[in-house]
Amino acid sequence: PTSTSGQPFPWHHMRLPKTVSPLHYDLAIHPNLTTLDFSGVVRIQLEVHRDTSLVILHAKQMQISEALLLAPEGARPLRVLEYPRFHQLALLLDSPLAKGGTYQVLLGFSANLSDSFHGFYKSSYRTSSGEVRVLASTQFEATFARAAFPCFDEPAFKAKFTIQIIREPRHIAISNMPIVKTVELPGGLLEDHFDTTVKMSTYLVAYIVSDFLSVSKTTHRGVKISVYAVPEKIDQTALALDAAVTLLDFYEEYFHIPYPLPKQDLAAIPDFQSGAMENWGLSTYRETALLYDPHKSSPSDKLAVTKVIAHEYAQWFGNLVTMEWWNDLWLNEGFAKFMELISVNVTHPELQVDDVFLGKCFEAMEVDSLPSSHPVSTHVENPVQIQEMFDDVSYDKGACILNMLRDFLTPEAFEIGIIRYLKHFSYQNTVSQHLWESLSNLCSPDHLNKGDRKQIFAEPSHTSHWKQWFSDDELDVQAIMDTWTLQEGFPLVTVEVRGREVRLSQERYLKTDDPSLTEGFLWQIPLTYVTSASSTVHRFLLKTKTDVLYLPQEVDWLKFNVDMSGYYMVHYAGDGWNAIIHLLQHNHTVLTSNDRASLIHDVFQLVGVGKVRLDTALDLSLYLSRETETMAVTQGFEELVPLYKLMEKRDMAALENQMKGYIVDLFRGLIDRQNWDDSGSVSERVLRSYLLLFGCVRNYPPCVEKATRLFNEWRASGGHMSLPVDVTMAVFMMGARTPEGWDFLFEKYRTSLQMSVKSRMKVAMAFSPLRDKLAWMLEQSVQGDVMKLQDLPDVVVTVSRNPRGYNLAWDFLRANWHTLIKKFDLGSNIIAYMVTGVTNRYSTTEMLDEVKRFFGSLTEETGSEMRSIQQTYETIQDNIRWMEAHLPELQAWLDKHR
């Protein structure tokens, strides 16, 4: 490699050498919110592991003003070379640093505040009087600490940080640790000195300079929790503050480890790319993810805020015990996603988080069923590949396989293994294998100490649970879990019943027309099942391609993957599906709502790979006219709506309308029974919002009339009339259909301070049939003035789902591609969300060619290698195959059931 000065750069790997490692950073930063730049000095204490006259570290897009080696005999200047392609600096020394010694280097640096959403970046907001105020905030995960100060920016280089921030008196500064003292500087500036952090990775460092206000409370053990927000929204922080205190108390008890810092701040940032970030001691959030108005926000908003705090607070994983490298990102994120389920279930049972969790497993399967999927733990090298790890596989599949493992080991044994893992590896870095080892030695009773054994085997049910899984074999958790983390995809288990004999076989479920891609895959699958003769959950570990199990008696039906706690799909061969359809038609409540949702999911997914006829899946869907549970109803919509969504982008109005009519008829009874108010449980309220919105979008007359009347009354009141929260989405959706209604909504959007209300208005406006308004809205989002740039991805994807707007969204994505990848970062989940969101309902070879022409014209620097582009091709190919294979069958079935 050649450095910027033209001299050879002395290191040619993307990963840093292990010759030295940082022990401590003293970091002083001075951001200027007027000139929008910052300068700083960092002093890094180094430990030397091998003699070297070279220190390689990271810095990205910054000027280095001085570089010194601080030695006992005085400071010596260092020669600095830069290699921007790998974001690396080389510090060259005259005489070598000796192995075993500790040294200090000092670097002066400066840079502009970033105008993207990462590094040390500028954010702004508008007050209700129209004044624009600026703040500066950080987002360092995964590889952006190097854009804020020179550092060893890899997760395994853990160190302690002592931070100082210079600011004007009208601002405050917050960071990972509390302020120890504030010093007055010449010129009226103030310098805040923060306490030293615990040992941690660079991506968890955080600081904010702003005019935020805060509210605080203390946990049982005396940890101070504070929520920060812009002054005019501080009254929307009560829910987050209460949830944060409750959840921190829960985690301390669950993990048996005290939270190691004296305080924990949560800050709502006006410009924020993802949902939230778990910086230690200062977690940061998008405003919609943290702020909640009890009068205007919905139960879904309440669940979303609670879940995201639960996710960031599951930071014993990641912060305390960190993955060695980004290939095991799932250890952080999959675990945090899984802990949302565990923690919110205990602390907020009324929010019924189970309903949402199952949907996450289905979402993961959607991506994981494509040939371009990747193993949960997968090799990554460069920043774009690292960014791509932040996807549904790392988060949702990671969470779903952990949930399967917990069900398999029992919750008690699983918890003991987790505690053992966290205590053993505190402040260290781990790989997946360390987790499996911590869970393995538990599983044979001989390895448990007396206390653990007493806890697990206190109830007779657990002993039998162990015996059902394995007889004399010692349970090898790693052997089982390696099959789920080291190979991509997931299994389809085929079940065929012959009398008392149940024949089992497994294969990879894959949406492809190339059968060779499914070969060579084998999982160890913890099967669970119930039968018509026994509601007890039976267990069987399927380790081979095929196996047989024997029932004590013949049965009318059986259901595998009880409650969908396993990450696999099931095909009931022979007469199996007919038996299930008969059961659902006559007595569907014998199965749990999760079981019914998983049957709906599996039967429709099996149509796509030719295992089940479309008639069979549609026959099963008929039972939905009697379904009332949220999870099963929403899964019915998830499988049926895409069928007409594919047709909306083709010219086939007659069949499309017939399909829409079938779905409305199916749920008509349930829609008619909904009240237009906010009564009922969280689950009932979520279902009400869903059904009334669907009714309005599908022009079901009773919904349209009621929603239009409510919108007109609300508009006549100048927007002051209080609408029931659960119906606002349907009401806004109807209002946005006329130019006057749309303009009124936009005016309310512009002035509203309620984030969840703004969010619903934004979706309604982006789903309007008025194409000129859609085009204007897309342009506004890029400018980022009235509609913030952070909301652009949602606007683009919503417009793409709008039958009147999908080609606008596609044209917009192409025209603004280079701006988007600069602002949102190549490989990020936001770019992937836009790429797949805009294209995943195309189903013609013409559109496939057009999509390939555009993405094929990109270079590697502009994203041609991104996984989401491959996923897009595969999804459209799958849609084309589906339409070619099933349209006549669909037409015939709908005619028959008219």
Kindly provide the b/e burial profile for residues 201-239, where b requires at least 16 CB atoms within 10 angstroms of the residue's own CB: bbbbbbbbbbbbbbeeeebeeebebbbbbbeebbebbbb
Given a contact cutoff of 8 angstroms between Cβ atoms, the answer to whether 68 and 106 are in contact is yes
Amino acid at site 280: W
Report d(CA 894, CA 817) in Å as an integer: 41
Is 165:175 a contact under the CB 8 Å cutoff? yes
Instruction: Tokens for 297, please give them.
Output: 């926000």
State the pairing for strand pair 37-48/52-58. unpaired
Q: Is 760 helix (H, G, I), strand (E, B) or coil?
A: helix
Instruction: Check if the beta carbon of residue 264 is closer than 8 Å to that of residue 283.
Output: yes
Residue 897 labeled ligand binder: no
Phi and psi of 428, rounded to 5°? -115, -175
* Residue 379 annotated as part of some ligand binding site: no
481, 461 Cβ separation under 8 angstroms: no
Cβ neighbours of 399 (radius 10 Å): 26
Q: Positive or negative, the Cα torsion across 334, 338, 340, 343?
A: negative
Beta-strand runs (E) in 324-375: none
Separation of CA 710 from chain center: 35
Is residue 312 annotated as a catalytic residue, yes or no?
yes
Q: Which residues contact 602 (CB under 8 A, 6 or more apart)?
A: 569, 570, 571
Q: How many of the other CB atoms lie within 10 Å of CB of 394?
A: 27
Q: How many CB atoms lie within 10 A of CB 845?
A: 12
User: Which residue has tokens 């921007």?
Assistant: 84
DSSP 785: S
Paired strand residues for 43: 26, 106
> Closest by alpha carbon to 38, among 133, 132, 109?
109
Identify the active-site residue in 278, 312, 648, 874: 312
DSSP 372-436: T---SS----SHHHHHHTSSHIIIIIHHHHHHHHHHHH-HHHHHHHHHHHHHHTTTSEE-HHHHH
* Stretch (H or E) spanning 136: strand 132-139
Q: How far apart are CA 749 and CA 496, in angstroms?
A: 56
- Going by the DSSP 8-state scheme, the letter that residue 236 receives in this structure is G
Numbered residues of the known binding site:
311, 333
The catalytic residue positions are 312
Numbered residues of the known binding site for Zn(2+):
311, 333
